[in-house]
Amino acid sequence: MLVTCDKCGARFVLRPQVQYLANKVERNYFSCSECGEEYTTYYCNPAIKKLQEKLNQLRLKYDSQRLANPKQAERTYKKWLKDKEALGKAMHLLLMAVDGKK
């Protein structure tokens, strides 16, 4: 993916990187190949990884139920929405804890 640096205006290929922080927190980011400006994409920890895996499993379950059992698929989808919201909140709380941003 080609992106443009907000700092220097250079265009470069996004190369995802991971920085391991304290308490098993991972900082996912990329940096400008010209000026080195770093852009954090998100933070992750074991609890967030677990929620992400749960969402993936629910999506697969929904896909398998969608045509065969629409009512069950609807319940699975509602569970997926609830867990997706929980993931968003967990990621926001981790961002606040690490960066102090809103």
Contacts of 4 (CB under 8 A, 6+ apart): 10, 11
Place of tokens 């045509």: 67
Burial (CB count <10 Å: 0-12, 13-18, 19+), residue 91: middle
The one-letter code for the residue type at 33 is S
pLDDT in tens, 42-88: 999 999 999 999 999 999 999 999 999 999 999 999 999 999 999 99
Interstrand relation of 2-4 and 38-44 (parallel, antiparallel or unpaired) = unpaired
Mean pLDDT of the chain: 95
Q: ∠40-9-96 over CA atoms, to 5°?
A: 20
The answer to whether residue 23 scores a pLDDT higher than 90 is: yes
* CB 24, CB 46: distance < 8 Å: yes
pLDDT band for 100, please (50, 70, 90 cuts). Answer: confident
Q: Are 34 and 4 in contact (CB under 8 A)?
A: no
Compute the average pLDDT of residues 9-36.
97
